[in-house]
Amino acid sequence: MTLSPEGSELAVVTGASTGIGAATARELARRGFHVLAGVRREPDGDALRGPGIEPVILDITEPDHIRALITRVDGDPHGRAVRALVNNAAIQANVPIEAFAIDQWRRMFEVNLFGQVAVIQAVLPALIRSRGRVINISSVGGKVAMAAYGPYAATKFALEAVSDALRRELAAVGVEVVVIQPGAVRTEMLGRAITAGGGLVSAMTPEQLQRYGGLVHAVNAQAVSSTRSGLPATAAAKVIAKAVTARRPRTRYPVGREAAMIRWLPFLPDRVLDRIFAAALRPHFPEGTRRIR
């Protein structure tokens, strides 16, 4: 694909306020796209605005916001086609299944899956006209579900399934569907997940706290440790931009060594996997707390 220097094609990026989304918006703009960067607040848009980047208010759980996005896409003053939709918006909380209230489950699926599907459905007619691309940002959690990652992993497993079905449905009309699977990437999302998890821990019953308090501490400590040595968001953005621009993109792109290794773990027996994950967590448990065996 060759782009003119005038931003002759549009790219839509959801969840562009910070982290991978913001880095992707900047990388695509640098490569000549005019990026419609979805943010939830005006100040986030002001911080992101720049050459080739047009912030748009977009909460993917709000139908009015999605309709406004499509009005902007279809009414582009320069008649530019949409080359790619990058579905990046997501939320995360590291919490055991028993302790995650059902309304919180619904909220996580609303953002991480149903909102993604709603945007795909809305943008798809424009992508079919342009023979464009859907880029879904999944996670290593879309391949394996570690302890306290159940709710988040469930949404990412579902997004992977949607992506596979969509790729097969759209093959005949020339729209590629690509999954990005980041591993440890240094973004603000981890801090928000830990904060959310801390609030959920404080709401646990005494029995749940006894069962899971050490586990949540260990999971968050392990996540902080791995993320410190993880890739910067700009590295993930370069992989996403490659998926957008490659003439023949792969169906999946892992981001980082951790992601490249974890994607093969599901081929191991379940009990072997259980022992591997338990052993990796043990050093992070506080003294005197219940540990995974």
User: Choosing from 149, 152, 212, 253, which is the catalytic residue?
Assistant: 152
Residue 139 contacts residue 156 (beta carbons within 8 Å): yes
17: DSSP letter: S
CA 110 to chain centre: 13
Phi/psi at 190 (nearest 5 deg)? -60, -45
Residue 152 appears among annotated catalytic residues: yes
Q: Which residues of 28-64 are buried (b: 16+ CB within 10 A; e: fewer)?
A: bbebbbbbbbbbbeeebbeebeeebbbbbbbbbeeee
How far is Cα 204 from Cα 226, in angstroms, rounded to an integer? 26
Query: 136: part of which helix (H) or strand (E)?
Result: strand 133-137
Q: Is 2 exposed, middle or buried (0-12, 13-18, 19+ CB in 10 A)?
A: exposed
What's the distance, CA 96 to chain centroid?
20
Stated as kind and residue range, the H or E segment containing 65 is helix 63-74
> Among all residues, which ones are annotated catalytic?
152
